[in-house]
């Protein structure tokens, strides 16, 4: 759920604030790479539409395909470290 009270000091850097995430997590400093001019706040990234529902659906589908291939080609002993069974499949999206 999204909260509207007890907001972090830098609330303007985020498109929304989740009630299960403490303010300390939002107020942590951003670690900038060498290209400071390229840095964007989470709100800027959200507003520019880099992450859309359609894009996330495509990424999730690619992950599901990759995971299913791994499950099919590795023997069950290798999959034990992943805590999954050879017959485990992720639902297609």
Mean pLDDT by 10 residues, the chain (93 residues): 92 91 89 69 80 84 85 62 55 48
pLDDT at 93: 45
Q: 56, 85, 57: which is closest to 70 by C-alpha?
A: 85
14's torsion region: left (phi>0), alpha (psi -120 to 50) or beta?
Answer: beta
């Amino acid at each position: 759920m999204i909260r509207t009270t007890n907001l972090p000091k830098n609330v303007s850097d985020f498109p929304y604030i989740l009630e299960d995430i403490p303010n300390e997590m939002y107020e942590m400093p951003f670690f900038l790479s060498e290209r400071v001019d390229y840095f964007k706040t989470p709100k800027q990234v959200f507003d520019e539409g880099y992450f859309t529902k359609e894009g996330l659906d495509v990424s999730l589908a690619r992950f599901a395909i990759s995971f299913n291939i791994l499950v099919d080609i590795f023997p069950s002993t290798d999959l034990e470290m992943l805590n999954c069974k050879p017959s485990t499949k992720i639902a297609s999206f």
